[in-house]
């Protein structure tokens, strides 16, 4: 199967699907459980939360900054008195202040930073959606492999039944003198080979179940199984790849994420250019203090706090004159980042176009392969039935029987594989259109 053999996206609502589950799992349940519990997705969700915090910080930069302070000082020895003379005395002073600074104009950098942070958050959210799609891909691939192995096990077990019946028939014929011991021995050898194939098929199925259970972060794969859906093949239509690409451009999160990042670079450039402009801020505050001298009486604490109370207001202007070309270089760097992001967006679109074209040609080839496999399986089965009838009537030997059986088994295996390839290759095209895939 191809790397992107099946893509499935599932939009669900409601309570989180717990790890306790009774009975076989459907694909929808597997996808939902993986999306809720996978560690990689949880890490991606943390990235979104980080972007949310960055956006809050950007918005908070427009708000006033308020700070308060308190101080206590002690002075010993010779010092200046209230009479402007020096004497040996001990003094204490207690001060309280509250100040604030309010940004008025920062070269539009605050507004541009907010816009940039909003787009970064949208890009991170789109990245999360892409990660969910990728997880759905992995789960669906593992699920499909299980279904394929289940069908192969059915074929192998069916062959064990056929060989067992043939061995019983030859054993009865040997007792009646109508078969030789070598014929029975050859048939038992064939039966042993069929049982070995069935054991290998069962082991492959168990391994594929283990792979999916680990992908779902299940603590124990014991008892884990999946539902085998009934999937119709007839009536599947393949869309035009150009039309599919046009729709995919509008809905794929991988493209949306790069577009958001490209839009964000515009505000990065504006923010960098804003450093050329002056910045204006307002500030204000209030304060008071309490003062005592050991050599002279002092007013009470409350009287001094009241009488020494002061306030101030001010506006500051900062004009950049020369910054060692740092601002200019920041603008140049931001412009180069925008060019790079433009190329990244185009590369993402080209990759998407290539994937859709490949998916379309794979679906066309899978359709032809499936129809050929149907004819090949029917012919192989008919040939096996004829050889089987001849073998049971003594007109064919065990070698001819085994060759016909092996050809039929290969045709059955090819049919199962081509059936799934055709189905999911066709459904893959629906995925690129943004449609939920069902089977």
pLDDT digits (tens, 9 = 90+) for 158-210: 888 888 887 887 788 778 777 778 877 887 888 888 899 899 999 999 999 99
Q: Is residue 272 part of a domain?
A: yes
Q: Structural domain tally of the chain? A: 1
Q: Is residue 76 part of a domain?
A: yes
H or E stretch covering 158: helix 109-175
pLDDT at 82: 57
As a whole number of Å, the CA-based R_g of the chain is 39
Q: Enumerate residues 6+ apart whose C-beta is below 8 A from 257.
A: 123, 124, 126, 127, 130
- How large a percentage of the chain has pLDDT more than 70? 91
Question: Is residue 281 within 8 Å of 315, Cβ to Cβ?
Answer: yes
DSSP conformation class of 275: G
pLDDT at 439: 65
Please give the average per-residue pLDDT across 205-227, as a whole number.
89
Q: Note the pTM of the prediction, 2 decimals.
A: 0.77
Give the Å distances, CA to CA, from 187 to 145, 154, 163. Answer: 32, 21, 7
Give the Å distances, CA to CA, from 247 to 136, 244, 255, 437. Answer: 20, 5, 12, 16
Q: What does the alpha-carbon distance between residue 438 and residue 163 come to, in Å, rounded to a whole number?
A: 38
Q: Is residue 369 part of a domain?
A: yes
Is the predicted pLDDT of residue 19 greater than 50, yes or no? no
pLDDT-derived band at 6 (thresholds 50, 70, 90) equals: very low
pLDDT digits (tens, 9 = 90+) for 103-136: 988 888 889 999 999 999 999 999 999 999 888 8
Residue whose tokens read 């004497």: 87
Please give the average per-residue pLDDT across 394-411, as a whole number.
83
pLDDT digits (tens, 9 = 90+) for 68-97: 999 988 887 776 665 667 777 788 888 999
Q: Is residue 2 part of a domain?
A: no
Q: Is residue 11 part of a domain?
A: no
Please give the average per-residue pLDDT across 212-235, as a whole number.
83
pLDDT at 223: 85
List helix spans (H) across 216-325: 241-251, 253-273, 301-307
Please give the average per-residue pLDDT across 353-375, as a whole number.
90
Question: Is residue 61 within 8 Å of 110, Cβ to Cβ?
Answer: yes
Is the predicted pLDDT of residue 345 greater than 90, yes or no? yes
Please give the average per-residue pLDDT across 231-240, as a whole number.
74
pLDDT at 230: 77
pLDDT at 17: 37
Question: Interior CA angle at 155 toward 204 and 372, to 5°?
Answer: 105
Q: Which range (178-187, 217-226, 274-283) has the least confidence? A: 178-187
Buried b / exposed e over 341-380, threshold 16 CB at 10 Å, is beeebeebbeebbebbeebbebbeebbebbeebbebbeeb
Is the predicted pLDDT of residue 38 greater than 50, yes or no? yes
pLDDT at 8: 34
Is the predicted pLDDT of residue 437 greater than 70, yes or no? no
Q: Is residue 5 part of a domain?
A: no
H or E stretch covering 46: helix 39-60
Residue 43: exposed, middle, or buried by beta-carbon count in 10 A (0-12, 13-18, 19+)?
exposed
pLDDT at 393: 81
Tell me which residue range forms the domain holding 273.
27-432
CATH code at 286?
1.20.1600.10
pLDDT digits (tens, 9 = 90+) for 420-433: 888 878 878 888 88
Q: Is residue 4 part of a domain?
A: no
Question: Is residue 398 within 8 Å of 190, Cβ to Cβ?
Answer: yes
Residue whose tokens read 């004009």: 319
Q: Is residue 403 part of a domain?
A: yes
Question: Is residue 434 within 8 Å of 254, Cβ to Cβ?
Answer: no
pLDDT-derived band at 57 (thresholds 50, 70, 90) equals: very high
């Amino acid at each position: 199967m191809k790397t992107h053999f099946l893509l499935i996206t599932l939009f669900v609502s409601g309570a989180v699907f717990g790890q306790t589950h009774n009975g076989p799992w459907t694909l929808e349940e597997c996808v939902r459980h993986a999306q809720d519990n996978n560690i990689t997705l949880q890490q991606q969700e943390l990235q979104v939360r980080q972007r949310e915090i960055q956006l809050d910080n950007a918005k908070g930069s427009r708000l006033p900054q308020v700070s308060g302070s308190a101080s206590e000082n002690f002075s010993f020895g010779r010092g200046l008195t209230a009479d402007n003379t020096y004497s040996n005395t001990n003094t204490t002073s207690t001060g309280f202040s509250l100040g604030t600074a309010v940004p008025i104009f920062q070269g539009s950098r605050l507004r541009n930073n907010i816009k940039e942070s909003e787009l970064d958050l949208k890009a991170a959210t789109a990245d999360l959606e892409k990660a969910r799609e990728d997880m759905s891909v992995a789960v669906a691939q593992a699920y499909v492999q299980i279904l394929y192995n289940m069908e192969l096990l059915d074929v192998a077990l069916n062959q064990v039944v056929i060989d067992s019946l043939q061995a019983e028939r030859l054993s009865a014929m040997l007792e009646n003198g109508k078969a030789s011991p070598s014929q029975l021995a050859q048939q038992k050898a064939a039966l042993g080979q069929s049982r070995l194939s069935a054991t290998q098929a069962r082991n492959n199925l168990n391994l594929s179940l283990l792979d999916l259970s680990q992908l779902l972060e299940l603590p124990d794969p014991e008892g884990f199984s999946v539902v085998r859906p009934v999937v119709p093949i007839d009536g599947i239509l393949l869309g035009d790849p150009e039309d599919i690409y046009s729709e995919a451009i509008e809905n794929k999160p991988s493209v949306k994420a790069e577009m958001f990042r490209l839009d964000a670079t515009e505000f990065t450039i504006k923010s960098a250019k804003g450093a050329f402009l002056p910045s204006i801020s307002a500030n204000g505050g209030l304060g008071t203090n309490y003062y005592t001298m050991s050599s002279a009486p002092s007013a009470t604490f409350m009287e001094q706090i009241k009488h020494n109370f002061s306030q101030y207001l001010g506006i500051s202007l900062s004009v950049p004159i020369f910054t060692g070309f740092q601002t200019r270089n920041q603008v140049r760097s931001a412009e180069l980042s925008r060019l790079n992001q433009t190329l990244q967006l185009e590369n993402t679109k080209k990759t998407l176009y290539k994937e859709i074209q490949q998916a379309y040609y794979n679906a066309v080839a899978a359709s032809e392969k499936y129809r050929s496999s149907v004819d090949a399986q029917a012919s192989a089965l008919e040939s096996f039935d004829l050889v089987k009838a001849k073998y049971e009537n003594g007109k064919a030997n065990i070698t001819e029987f085994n060759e016909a059986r092996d050809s039929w088994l290969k045709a059955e295996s090819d049919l199962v594989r081509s059936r799934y390839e055709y189905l999911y290759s066709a459904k893959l095209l629906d995925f690129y259109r943004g449609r939920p895939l069902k089977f």
